[in-house]
Amino acid sequence: MKKVLKFNVNGKDYEILISPNKTLLEVLREDLLLTGTKHGCDTGECGLCAVLIDGIPHLSCLTLAITCEGKNITTVEGIDKKEIEIIEKSFLEEGAVQCGFCTPSFVIMAKYLMDRKKKGLNHIDLKEELSGSLCRCTGYTKILKAFERIIK
Amino acid sequence: MLKLKEFEFFSPYTCEELFSLIKKYPEAKIIAGGTDLIPKIKRGQIEPNYVISILYIKEFDFIKIEENEIRIGALKKLRELEKNEEIKKIKGLHIALKSVATPIIRNSATIGGNLLQDTRCKFYDKSKFWREALGYCLKKGDAECRVAPGSNRCFAVFCSDIAPILIALDSEVVLIDSDLKEQRIKLEEIYRDDGINHINLNGKILKEIIIPREKFFLTYKKLRIRDTIDFPEAGVAVVVKKESINIAISGISSSIFYLKEKISGSDFNLQINKLIEEVYNSIKPMDNLYFPPLYRKKVVRNFLVKAFKEFNESEIF
Amino acid sequence: MEKIIGKKRKRVDAGYKIKGTAKYAEDFYAPNMLYMKFKRSPYAHALIEEIDYSEALKLKGVEAVITGKDLPVKYGILPVTQDETALAIDKVRYVGEPVVALCAETEEIAIKAIDLIKVKYKELDSVLSIEEAFEKENVRVHESEKFKGNAHRVIHLEFGDVESAFKECDYVREDIFFYSGNAHLPMEPHSVLAVPEENKLTIYVSHQAPYYLHQILSKALSIPQKNIRIVVPYVGGGFGGKLDPFPEIVCAGKLALITGKPVKCTLEREEVFYNHRGRHPALMWIKTGLKEGRIKAIHFKSFLDGGAYGSFGVACSYYQGALQTTTYKIPNYKVQVVRFYTNKPPCGPKRGHGTPQPRFALECHFDKIAEDLNLKPHEFRLKNLTDSNFVTINYLKITSSGLKECIEKVIKESEFEKKHGKLPYGEGIGFAIGAYLSGAALPIYWNEMPHSEVVIKADRSGIISVYSGHTEIGQGSDTMLSYIVAEVLGINPEDVKLILRDTDTVPPDLGSYSSRVTYMVGNAAFEAANKLKNVLIKTASELLEEKEDELIFENYKIKTKKGDKEIELVEVIRKAIEREGPLVFTGKYKPPPILGKYKGAGVGPSPAYSFTACVIQVKVDTDTGIVKPQKVWIAHDIGRCINRKNVEGQIEGSVYMGLCEALTEKTEYTKKGLLKDTGFLDYKTLTIKEMPDINVYLIETHDKGGPFGAKEVGQGPLLPVIPALCNAVYDAIGIRFDEIPITPDKVLDAIERNKKRIGPEKIIDFKFPPPIKVEVPENVKT
The pLDDT tens digits of the residues spanning C69-120 come to 999 999 999 999 999 999 999 999 999 999 999 999 999 999 999 999 999 9
The DSSP symbol for A11 reads T
> pLDDT of C210-249, one tens digit each?
999 999 999 999 999 999 999 999 999 999 999 999 999 9
- Measure in Å the smallest separation between the Cα of B99 and chain C Cα atoms: 12
- Measure in Å the smallest separation between the Cα of A137 and chain C Cα atoms: 5
Is residue A68 domain-shared with residue A104, that is, in the same domain? no
- Residues on chain B touching C664 (C-beta within 8 angstroms): 225-226
Given this model, what pLDDT does residue B317 score? 81
Q: Which of A33, A88, A100 sits opposite C474 (nearest CB)?
A: A100
Prediction pTM value:
0.97
The answer, yes or no, to whether residue B315 has pLDDT greater than 90, is no
Q: List the C91-92 sheet strands across, edge first.
A: C91-92, C46-52, C118-123
Q: Do B102 and A131 touch (CB under 8 A)?
A: yes
Given this model, what pLDDT does residue A120 score? 85
Query: How many Å apart are CA A138 and CA A94, to the nearest integer?
Result: 11
What mean pLDDT is reported for chain B? 96
Given this model, what pLDDT does residue C780 score? 61
Is residue A93 domain-shared with residue A74, that is, in the same domain? no
Q: Is any Cβ of chain B less than 8 angstroms from the Cβ of A1? A: yes
List, as ranges, residues 37-66 from B with C-beta within 8 Å of A. 38-39, 42-43, 51, 53, 55
- Mean per-residue pLDDT, B247-276: 94
Q: Do B105 and A44 touch (CB under 8 A)?
A: yes
Point out the domain boundary residue: A23, A43, A78. A78
The DSSP symbol for A31 reads I
Q: Do B127 and C672 touch (CB under 8 A)?
A: no
Is residue A86 domain-shared with residue A111, that is, in the same domain? yes
Contact B150, B115 (CB under 8 A): no
Is residue A65 domain-shared with residue A85, that is, in the same domain? no
Q: Which of C16, C20, C187 sits opposite A135 (nearest CB)?
A: C187
Closest CA to C346 of C316, C323, C321: C316
Query: How many Å apart are CA C330 and CA C393, to the nearest integer?
Result: 7
Cβ contacts of C716 within 8 Å, gap of 6 or more: C434, C435, C436, C515, C610, C611, C612, C636, C654
Least confident range of A68-82, C571-585, C765-779: C765-779
Contact C387, C398 (CB under 8 A): yes
Q: Which of A28, A41, A130, A131 to mutate to test the interface with B (most CBs of B within 10 A)?
A: A131
The answer, yes or no, to whether residue C534 has pLDDT greater than 70, is yes
Is residue A49 domain-shared with residue A99, that is, in the same domain? no
Is residue A51 domain-shared with residue A116, that is, in the same domain? no
Query: How many Å apart are CA A125 and CA B82, to the nearest integer?
Result: 13
Q: Which of C188, C687, C745, C753 to mutate to test the interface with B (most CBs of B within 10 A)?
A: C745
- Residues on chain A touching B107 (C-beta within 8 angstroms): 56-58
Contact C450, C215 (CB under 8 A): no
Tell me which chain B residue has its CA closest to the CA of residue C115.
B129
Dihedral angle sign, alpha carbons of residues B1, B5, B11, B12: negative
Bridge partners of B78, per DSSP, are none
Question: pLDDT band at C777, cuts 50/70/90?
Answer: confident
Q: To the nearest 5 percent, what fractions of chain C are helix, strand and coil?
A: 30, 25, 45
Q: Is any Cβ of chain B less than 8 angstroms from the Cβ of C499? A: no
> pLDDT of C152-174, one tens digit each?
999 999 999 999 999 999 999 99
Reported as type and span, the H/E element at residue C338 is strand C333-340
> pLDDT of B45-94, one tens digit each?
999 999 999 999 999 999 999 999 999 999 999 999 999 999 999 999 99
Q: Which of A46, A99, A130, A140 to mutate to test the interface with C (most CBs of C within 10 A)?
A: A99
Given this model, what pLDDT does residue C779 score? 67
Contact B267, B312 (CB under 8 A): no
Distances (CA, A) of C474 to C239, C309, C440, C517: 9, 28, 20, 12
Is residue A7 domain-shared with residue A71, that is, in the same domain? yes
Letter for the amino acid at C658?
A: G
Query: How many Å apart are CA C612 and CA C433, to the nearest integer?
Result: 6
Structural domain boundaries, residue A10? 3-78
Q: Is the peptide bond before C629 cis (omega within 30 degrees of 0)?
A: no
Bridge partners of B219, per DSSP, are B238
Reported as type and span, the H/E element at residue A56 is strand A56-59
The runs of H, that is alpha helices, within chain B are 15-24, 37-42, 78-83, 85-89, 91-99, 103-106, 111-115, 128-134, 162-168, 268-282, 293-314
Contact C56, C114 (CB under 8 A): yes
Is residue A73 domain-shared with residue A86, that is, in the same domain? no
The dihedrals phi and psi of C609, each to the nearest 5 degrees, come to: -120, 145
- Measure in Å the smallest separation between the Cα of A23 and chain C Cα atoms: 13
- Residues on chain A touching B53 (C-beta within 8 angstroms): 64, 67
> pLDDT of B148-169, one tens digit each?
999 999 999 999 999 999 999 9
The answer, yes or no, to whether residue C146 has pLDDT greater than 90, is no
Is residue A67 domain-shared with residue A90, that is, in the same domain? no
Residue C707's SS3 state is helix
Given this model, what pLDDT does residue C781 score? 53
- Measure in Å the smallest separation between the Cα of B105 and chain C Cα atoms: 13
Query: How many Å apart are CA C516 and CA A38, to the nearest integer?
Result: 29
Total number of residues shown for chain A: 152
CATH code at A94? 1.10.150.120
Contact C400, C701 (CB under 8 A): yes
Is residue A13 domain-shared with residue A31, that is, in the same domain? yes
Query: How many Å apart are CA A129 and CA C618, to the nearest integer?
Result: 25
Share of chain C above pLDDT 90, in %: 96
- Residues on chain B touching A19 (C-beta within 8 angstroms): 6
Given this model, what pLDDT does residue B93 score? 95
Q: Which of C17, C653, C687 sits opposite A100 (nearest CB)?
A: C17
> pLDDT of B85-129, one tens digit each?
999 999 999 999 999 999 999 999 999 999 999 999 999 999 999
In this structure, the strands spanning A3-9 and A12-18 are: antiparallel
In this structure, the strands spanning B182-186 and B205-212 are: unpaired
The neighbour count for residue C769, using CB atoms within 10 Å, is 10
- Residues on chain C touching B223 (C-beta within 8 angstroms): 624
Given this model, what pLDDT does residue C454 score? 97
The answer, yes or no, to whether residue C9 has pLDDT greater than 90, is no
Closest CA to B156 of B132, B129, B137: B137
Contact C623, B303 (CB under 8 A): yes
- Residues on chain A touching C11 (C-beta within 8 angstroms): 92, 95, 97
In this structure, the strands spanning C282-291 and C171-179 are: antiparallel
Tell me which chain A residue has its CA closest to the CA of residue B48.
A21
Longest dimension (CA), chain C: 85
List, as ranges, residues 4-23 from C with C-beta within 8 Å of A. 8, 10-11, 13-23
In this structure, the strands spanning C551-554 and C627-637 are: unpaired
- Mean per-residue pLDDT, A12-25: 97
Closest CA to B103 of A68, A62, A47: A47
Angle (CA) C153-C154-C158 rounded to 5° is 140
Number of structural domains in chain A: 2
Is residue A86 domain-shared with residue A38, that is, in the same domain? no
Is residue A93 domain-shared with residue A145, that is, in the same domain? yes
Point out the domain boundary residue: A78, A93, A112. A78
Contact C743, B225 (CB under 8 A): yes
Point out the domain boundary residue: A25, A56, A78. A78
Question: pLDDT band at C145, cuts 50/70/90?
Answer: low
In this structure, the strands spanning B216-223 and C98-104 are: unpaired
Closest CA to C33 of C209, C234, C260: C260
What mean pLDDT is reported for chain C? 96
Q: Which of A40, A95, A131 sits opposite C646 (nearest CB)?
A: A95
CATH code at A23? 3.10.20.30
Cβ contacts of B213 within 8 Å, gap of 6 or more: B66, B67, B68, B69, B70
List, as ranges, residues 11-30 from A with C-beta within 8 Å of B. 19-23, 25-26
Q: What is the 3-state secondary structure (H, E, C) of C24-91?
A: EHHHCCCCCCEEEEEEECCCCCEEEEEEECHHHHHCCCEEEEEEHHHCCCCECCECCECCECCCCCCE
- Residues on chain B touching C43 (C-beta within 8 angstroms): 133
Given this model, what pLDDT does residue C782 score? 45
Dihedral angle sign, alpha carbons of residues B132, B135, B136, B141: positive
